[in-house]
Amino acid sequence: MRLVLEKRATSSTLLALTSPFIALALTLVAGAIMFAILGKPPFASLITYFVDPLTDPWSREQIIVKATPLILIAVGLSVCFRSGNWNIGAEGQYLIGGLFGAMLPVLLHGWTSPLLLPLALIFGMAGGALYAFIPAVLKARFGTNEILSSLMLVYIAQQVVDWVVRGPWRNPQGMGFPGTKTFTDNAILPPLWANADAHYGTVFAILAAVVVWFALGRTLKGFEITVLGQSPKAGRFAGFSAAKMTIFAFVVSGALAGLAGISEVSGSVEKLDDKLSLGYGFSAIIVAFLGRLNPLGIIAAGLILALSFIGGENAQIMMGVSDRAARVFQGLLLFFVLACDTLIHYRVGFVRAPGGLKTAA
């Protein structure tokens, strides 16, 4: 027996809408099997993972906090991936965004101007954009593989941030722990409501998603992104430049990743330390695909991924399941998302041995 694909004449709209949900359902089934293997009650574990966090206000807020950088980064990645540019170094752009954003609040510690926060945010975006510009220009100018170069830059960014928080920017009063001084209040991204952990980064994320959604669907730039992603040759025929698009897409996505970085630093941690790299840049790749590269879908996908993180912490506390299980879930989810996308464009069928489909002898 052999599995075969047959191309659909037109892709299925129904499946395009439902395929992420099918993928989610399959991931849950796989997750239940995994829990069973680990000797945990499968159904109860899934409840702890995916339902309990939703019933608790504190967990709900944490989901929003976690989802914020994921959405910001993934929205930028949607521009890259749609245009055929494989930026997988968002983690590095996020880190450098945090680093650049922290520059003024750290170096001008005590500067009381209300301009400090806006400047920090702008620096953060600029930092991420600049860092993304490196693989972009290497690809556009020399044809260097952007997948590998953007990824290598993640490792370098991790080292650079590590050096800064242990070396030149270390808080002298920090008792030897790596990390800068805590930001002054005028450099801190305000909470969404009083005493909340959730901060204005969430507003940026939603704003970014809506703007990019409109640009992708309704403007010539969005059209250019789609065309170049699907067929660079047709794009050139349309008068679009693939090299300029590479720069554009990387810079946009780097700026959003940088904004995510400085929002996390300024809104959540309130200083730059050595624990900024939590893999959001990689999880955002999953968010982007789960959202089918549609910024509005990405909002939902970001919340789902954040739920899996919070659920993972929950499950660790409640049931002693490794918090690594969340990462496994995410990996499985991406696999199922990609597999289910096949259904949109192909009909899947099974045939027995060659000739098995014959009806007459």
Partner 1 sequence: MDIAVLISIIVSVAVSATPLLLAATGELVVERSGVLNLGVEGMMIMGAVAGFSVAQATGNPYWGALGAIVVGALFSQLFAFLVLTLVTNQVATGLALTILGLGLSGMIGEGFVGQPGIKLEKLDIPLLSDLPVVGPLLFSLDAIFYASIALVLAVWWFLFRTKTGLMVRGVGDSHTSAHALGIPVIRIRYLAIAFGGACAGLAGAHLSLVQVPQWTEGMTSGRGWIALALVVFASWRPGRVLIGAYLFGAVTIAQFHAQASGVPIPPQFLASLPYLATIIVLVLIARNRRLTMINTPAALGQPFVPDR
Partner 2 sequence: MAPEPAQATPLLETRAITKVFGELKANDAVDFAIQRGEIHALLGENGAGKSTLVKILFGSLQPSAGQVFWNGEAIDITSPSQARDLGIGMVFQHFSLFEALTVAENIALSFQSDLTLGEVAERARTLSKTYGLPLDPDAVVGDLAVGQRQRIEIIRVLMQDPQLIILDEPTSVLTPQEADTLFETLFRLRDEGRSILYISHRLEEVQRLCTAATIMRHGKVVDACDPREETAGSLASKMVGADIAHVRQSVTGAGGDVLLQVSILSQPAATPFAVALRDISLEARAGEVIAIAGIAGNGQGEFFAALSGETLSKPGSTIRLMGKDVGGLGISPRRKLNAAFIPEERLGHGAVPGLALSDNLLLARHASDHKELLSLGRLAVVAKGKVADFAQRVVAAMDVRKSALNPPAAALSGGNLQKFIVGRELDRNPKVLVVSQPTWGVDAGAASHIRQALLDLAASGSAVVAISQDLDEIFEIADRIAVMADGRLTAPVPSDDMTRERIGLLMAGQSEAVAA
- The single residue among 25, 148, 207, 238 that binds partner 2, judged by CB under 8 A, is 238
79 binds partner 2 (CB under 8 A): no
C-alpha radius of gyration, the chain, whole number: 22
Contacts of residue 209, defined as CB under 8 A and 6 or more positions apart, other chains included, come to 71, 75, 295, 296, 298, 299
Q: Does 275 bind partner 1 (CB under 8 A)?
A: no
Does the footprint of partner 2 cover residue 211 (CB under 8 A)?
no
Q: What sign for the dihedral angle of Cα 341, 150, 91, 131?
A: negative
Dihedral pair phi/psi, residue 34, rounded to 5° = -60, -45
Both tokens of 300, joined, read: 């939902």
Dihedral angle over CA of 227, 232, 236, 242, nearest 10? 90
Write down the least CB distance from residue 17 to partner 2, Å: 17
Q: How far is the CB of 70 from partner 2 (least distance, A)?
A: 28
Q: How far apart are CA 51 and CA 41, in angstroms?
A: 15
Residue 114, SS3 per DSSP: coil
Give the residue, chosen from 123, 204, 248, 282, that forms a contact with partner 1 under the rule CB under 8 A.
282
Among 4, 51, 112, 236, binds partner 2 (CB under 8 A): 236
Candidates 157-165, 197-205, 215-223, 251-259: pick the segment binding partner 1 (CB under 8 A).
157-165
Cβ atoms within 10 Å, residue 19: 21
Q: Are 85 and 235 in contact (CB under 8 A)?
A: no
The residue from 43, 155, 163, 237 that contacts partner 2 (CB under 8 A) is 237
Name every residue whose Cβ is closer than 8 Å to that of residue 163 and which is 6 or more positions away in sequence.
none
The alpha helices in 145-195, defined as continuous H runs, are 146-166
191 vs 331, beta carbon nearer partner 1: 331
Asked if 160 touches partner 1 (CB under 8 A), the answer is: yes
- In whole angstroms, how close is the CB of 140 to partner 1 at the nearest point? 11
Residue 354 found at the interface with partner 2 (CB under 8 A) = yes
Of the candidate spans 4-12, 103-111, 180-188, 207-215, the one that interacts with partner 1 by CB under 8 A turns out to be: 4-12
11 binds partner 1 (CB under 8 A): no
HSE of 253, CA atoms in CB hemisphere, 13 A: 39
Q: Which residues bind partner 2 (CB under 8 A)?
A: 6, 9-11, 218-221, 223, 226-227, 230-231, 233-234, 236-239, 354-355, 357-361
Q: Which residues bind partner 1 (CB under 8 A)?
A: 3-5, 7, 86, 88, 138, 142-145, 147-149, 151-153, 155-156, 159-160, 162-163, 166-167, 282, 285-286, 289, 322, 324-332, 334-335, 338-339, 341-342, 346, 348, 351
